[in-house]
Protein backbone atom coordinates (compact mmCIF):
# COMPACT_ATOMS: atom_id res chain seq x y z
CA UNK A 1 0.00 0.00 0.00
CA UNK A 2 2.82 2.37 0.91
CA UNK A 3 4.55 1.54 -2.37
CA UNK A 4 1.42 2.40 -4.35
CA UNK A 5 1.03 5.71 -2.51
CA UNK A 6 4.69 6.57 -3.19
CA UNK A 7 4.30 5.76 -6.87
CA UNK A 8 1.17 7.89 -7.11
CA UNK A 9 2.93 10.82 -5.44
CA UNK A 10 6.07 10.53 -7.55
CA UNK A 11 4.02 10.19 -10.72
CA UNK A 12 3.03 13.84 -10.29
CA UNK A 13 6.59 14.81 -11.18
CA UNK A 14 6.75 12.76 -14.38
CA UNK A 15 7.00 14.77 -17.62
CA UNK A 16 4.13 13.24 -19.58
CA UNK A 17 1.77 15.00 -21.95
CA UNK A 18 -1.36 13.87 -23.79
CA UNK A 19 -3.43 16.16 -25.96
CA UNK A 20 -6.16 15.96 -28.60
CA UNK A 21 -6.95 18.77 -31.05
CA UNK A 22 -8.33 19.61 -34.47
CA UNK A 23 -5.71 20.65 -37.03
CA UNK A 24 -7.01 22.56 -40.08
CA UNK A 25 -5.46 21.85 -43.45
CA UNK A 26 -3.58 24.67 -45.19
CA UNK A 27 -1.62 24.94 -48.38
CA UNK A 28 1.41 26.35 -46.54
CA UNK A 29 0.86 25.34 -42.90
CA UNK A 30 2.95 26.74 -40.06
CA UNK A 31 2.12 23.78 -37.85
CA UNK A 32 1.30 23.33 -34.18
CA UNK A 33 3.99 22.43 -31.64
CA UNK A 34 3.61 20.76 -28.26
CA UNK A 35 6.58 21.40 -25.96
CA UNK A 36 7.82 19.38 -22.98
CA UNK A 37 11.09 19.66 -21.09
CA UNK A 38 13.45 16.66 -21.16
CA UNK A 39 16.87 16.05 -19.69
CA UNK A 40 19.85 15.09 -21.87
CA UNK A 41 20.11 11.42 -22.89
CA UNK A 42 16.44 10.83 -22.08
CA UNK A 43 14.13 8.52 -23.99
CA UNK A 44 11.11 10.27 -25.50
CA UNK A 45 8.29 8.30 -27.12
CA UNK A 46 5.61 10.09 -29.11
CA UNK A 47 2.43 8.23 -29.98
CA UNK A 48 0.43 10.03 -32.68
CA UNK A 49 -3.06 9.02 -33.73
CA UNK A 50 -4.29 10.80 -36.87
CA UNK A 51 -7.89 10.56 -38.03
CA UNK A 52 -8.66 9.87 -41.72
CA UNK A 53 -8.85 12.84 -44.05
CA UNK A 54 -9.00 13.13 -47.82
CA UNK A 55 -6.61 15.44 -49.71
CA UNK A 56 -4.52 16.07 -46.58
CA UNK A 57 -1.02 15.09 -45.53
CA UNK A 58 0.04 15.20 -41.86
CA UNK A 59 3.77 15.56 -41.13
CA UNK A 60 5.49 15.39 -37.73
CA UNK A 61 8.84 16.90 -36.75
CA UNK A 62 10.50 16.40 -33.36
CA UNK A 63 12.89 19.22 -32.49
CA UNK A 64 14.30 20.93 -29.41
CA UNK A 65 14.80 24.50 -28.24
CA UNK A 66 18.55 24.23 -27.64
CA UNK A 67 20.91 26.74 -29.33
CA UNK A 68 21.84 24.02 -31.83
CA UNK A 69 18.19 23.54 -32.78
CA UNK A 70 18.41 19.75 -33.02
CA UNK A 71 15.98 18.04 -35.39
CA UNK A 72 15.61 14.52 -34.04
CA UNK A 73 13.05 13.15 -36.44
CA UNK A 74 10.97 14.16 -39.44
CA UNK A 75 8.12 11.86 -40.45
CA UNK A 76 5.99 12.53 -43.52
CA UNK A 77 2.41 11.44 -44.26
CA UNK A 78 1.39 10.13 -40.85
CA UNK A 79 -1.71 7.91 -40.96
CA UNK A 80 -3.53 6.14 -38.16
CA UNK A 81 -1.52 5.38 -35.02
CA UNK A 82 2.22 5.93 -35.24
CA UNK A 83 4.83 5.47 -32.53
CA UNK A 84 8.04 7.52 -32.69
CA UNK A 85 11.03 7.26 -30.35
CA UNK A 86 14.07 9.52 -29.88
CA UNK A 87 16.86 10.04 -27.34
CA UNK A 88 17.60 13.65 -26.46
CA UNK A 89 21.08 15.15 -26.86
CA UNK A 90 20.72 18.12 -24.54
CA UNK A 91 18.59 19.34 -21.66
CA UNK A 92 15.98 21.47 -23.39
CA UNK A 93 12.33 21.73 -24.37
CA UNK A 94 11.41 19.05 -26.88
CA UNK A 95 8.76 20.06 -29.40
CA UNK A 96 6.46 17.77 -31.36
CA UNK A 97 5.41 19.86 -34.36
CA UNK A 98 2.48 18.73 -36.51
CA UNK A 99 1.57 20.13 -39.94
CA UNK A 100 -1.54 19.39 -41.98
CA UNK A 101 -0.88 20.20 -45.64
CA UNK A 102 -3.70 20.51 -48.13
CA UNK A 103 -2.91 18.59 -51.30
CA UNK A 104 -4.22 20.60 -54.26
CA UNK A 105 -2.90 18.04 -56.71
CA UNK A 106 -5.81 15.71 -55.99
CA UNK A 107 -8.63 18.21 -56.26
CA UNK A 108 -8.78 19.92 -52.86
CA UNK A 109 -10.24 23.40 -53.13
CA UNK A 110 -11.30 24.87 -49.79
CA UNK A 111 -8.76 24.49 -46.96
CA UNK A 112 -11.14 26.07 -44.45
CA UNK A 113 -13.42 23.04 -44.54
CA UNK A 114 -10.68 20.42 -44.12
CA UNK A 115 -9.47 19.32 -40.69
CA UNK A 116 -8.04 16.22 -39.07
CA UNK A 117 -8.16 15.14 -35.45
CA UNK A 118 -4.73 14.65 -33.90
CA UNK A 119 -4.06 12.78 -30.67
CA UNK A 120 -0.58 13.11 -29.23
CA UNK A 121 0.75 11.20 -26.25
CA UNK A 122 4.28 12.19 -25.22
CA UNK A 123 6.06 9.94 -22.71
CA UNK A 124 9.42 11.07 -21.33
CA UNK A 125 11.96 9.20 -19.27
CA UNK A 126 10.59 6.50 -16.97
CA UNK A 127 7.12 6.77 -18.51
CA UNK A 128 8.56 5.87 -21.91
CA UNK A 129 10.06 2.59 -20.71
CA UNK A 130 8.11 -0.57 -21.59
CA UNK A 131 8.18 -2.31 -18.23
CA UNK A 132 5.94 -5.12 -19.46
CA UNK A 133 8.59 -6.13 -21.97
CA UNK A 134 11.27 -5.91 -19.28
CA UNK A 135 9.16 -8.05 -16.95
CA UNK A 136 8.69 -10.71 -19.61
CA UNK A 137 12.36 -10.68 -20.57
CA UNK A 138 13.71 -10.81 -17.02
CA UNK A 139 10.83 -12.81 -15.48
CA UNK A 140 10.08 -10.13 -12.91
CA UNK A 141 7.22 -10.30 -10.44
CA UNK A 142 4.62 -7.54 -10.16
CA UNK A 143 6.33 -6.11 -7.08
CA UNK A 144 9.71 -6.13 -8.82
CA UNK A 145 8.19 -4.30 -11.80
CA UNK A 146 6.72 -1.66 -9.50
CA UNK A 147 10.07 -1.30 -7.77
CA UNK A 148 11.78 -0.90 -11.13
CA UNK A 149 9.28 1.84 -12.01
CA UNK A 150 9.89 3.52 -8.66
CA UNK A 151 13.64 3.37 -9.22
CA UNK A 152 13.27 5.04 -12.63
CA UNK A 153 11.03 7.77 -11.21
CA UNK A 154 13.41 8.49 -8.31
CA UNK A 155 16.38 8.65 -10.68
CA UNK A 156 14.54 11.17 -12.85
CA UNK A 157 13.71 13.32 -9.83
CA UNK A 158 17.33 13.23 -8.64
CA UNK A 159 18.55 14.15 -12.13
CA UNK A 160 16.02 16.98 -12.28
CA UNK A 161 17.12 18.33 -8.90
CA UNK A 162 20.76 18.11 -10.00
CA UNK A 163 19.94 20.02 -13.19
CA UNK A 164 18.10 22.71 -11.21
CA UNK A 165 21.04 22.99 -8.82
CA UNK A 166 23.52 23.41 -11.68
CA UNK A 167 21.23 25.95 -13.31
CA UNK A 168 20.95 27.88 -10.03
CA UNK A 169 24.74 27.89 -9.73
CA UNK A 170 25.10 29.26 -13.27
CA UNK A 171 22.52 31.95 -12.53
CA UNK A 172 24.30 32.85 -9.29
CA UNK A 173 27.64 33.10 -11.10
CA UNK A 174 26.00 35.27 -13.76
CA UNK A 175 24.48 37.55 -11.11
CA UNK A 176 27.80 37.88 -9.29
CA UNK A 177 29.61 38.64 -12.54
CA UNK A 178 26.97 41.22 -13.48
CA UNK A 179 27.16 42.86 -10.06
CA UNK A 180 30.96 43.05 -10.32
CA UNK A 181 30.75 44.64 -13.76
CA UNK A 182 28.14 47.16 -12.60
CA UNK A 183 30.29 48.03 -9.59
CA UNK A 184 33.38 48.50 -11.76
CA UNK A 185 31.42 50.64 -14.20
CA UNK A 186 30.10 52.77 -11.35
CA UNK A 187 33.64 53.29 -9.99
CA UNK A 188 34.89 54.15 -13.48
CA UNK A 189 32.05 56.64 -13.91
CA UNK A 190 32.85 58.30 -10.58
CA UNK A 191 36.55 58.51 -11.51
CA UNK A 192 35.77 60.02 -14.92
CA UNK A 193 33.39 62.58 -13.37
CA UNK A 194 36.00 63.49 -10.78
CA UNK A 195 38.64 63.98 -13.49
CA UNK A 196 36.25 66.08 -15.58
CA UNK A 197 35.38 68.21 -12.55
CA UNK A 198 39.04 68.76 -11.72
CA UNK A 199 39.80 69.61 -15.37
CA UNK A 200 36.94 72.12 -15.48
CA UNK A 201 38.12 73.78 -12.26
CA UNK A 202 41.69 74.09 -13.57
CA UNK A 203 40.44 75.36 -16.93
CA UNK A 204 38.20 77.99 -15.34
CA UNK A 205 41.00 79.06 -13.02
CA UNK A 206 43.33 79.48 -15.98
CA UNK A 207 40.65 81.45 -17.85
CA UNK A 208 40.03 83.82 -14.94
CA UNK A 209 43.76 84.37 -14.54
CA UNK A 210 44.08 85.34 -18.20
CA UNK A 211 41.27 87.82 -17.69
CA UNK A 212 43.00 89.13 -14.54
CA UNK A 213 39.90 88.31 -12.53
CA UNK A 214 41.91 86.36 -9.94
CA UNK A 215 45.55 86.31 -8.87
Out of 105, 128, 151, a domain closes at 128
Please report the DSSP string for 173-206 in residue order.
HHHHHHHHHHHHHHHHHHHHHHHHHHHHHHHHHH
Same domain, 30 and 111: yes
Residues 6+ apart with CB under 8 A from 170: none
| Pair 46, 122: CB distance under 8 Å | yes
**Nearest of 98, 122, 94 to residue 37 by alpha carbon:** 94
pLDDT of the chain along its 215 residues, tens only?
444 444 444 444 445 557 888 888 888 888 889 999 888 888 898 999 998 888 888 999 999 988 888 899 998 988 889 998 899 988 889 999 999 988 766 554 554 578 888 999 988 887 777 777 777 777 777 787 778 778 877 887 888 888 889 889 999 999 999 999 999 999 999 999 999 999 998 888 888 777 776 66
| Structural domain for 195, as ranges | 141-215
Q: Is residue 176 part of a domain?
A: yes
Residues 6+ apart with CB under 8 A from 35: 65, 93, 94, 95
Out of 78, 105, 128, a domain closes at 128
Q: What are phi and psi of 128, to 5 degrees?
A: -90, -10
Same domain, 154 and 119: no
**Nearest of 85, 82, 80 to residue 116 by alpha carbon:** 80
Q: What is the CATH number of the domain that holds 74?
A: 2.60.120.510
E strand segments, the chain: 16-24, 32-38, 43-50, 56-64, 71-75, 80-87, 92-102, 115-124
Q: Is residue 68 part of a domain?
A: yes
Out of 78, 102, 128, a domain closes at 128
Same domain, 20 and 87: yes
Cα(119)–Cα(187) distance, rounded to whole angstroms?
A: 59
Amino acid sequence: MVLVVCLAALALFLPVSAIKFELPAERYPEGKCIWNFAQANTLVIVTANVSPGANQRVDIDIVDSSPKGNVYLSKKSIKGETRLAITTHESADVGVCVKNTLDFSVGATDPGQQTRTIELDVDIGAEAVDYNAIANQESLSLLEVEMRKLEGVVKEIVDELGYLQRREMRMRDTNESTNARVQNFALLTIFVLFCLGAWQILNLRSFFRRKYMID
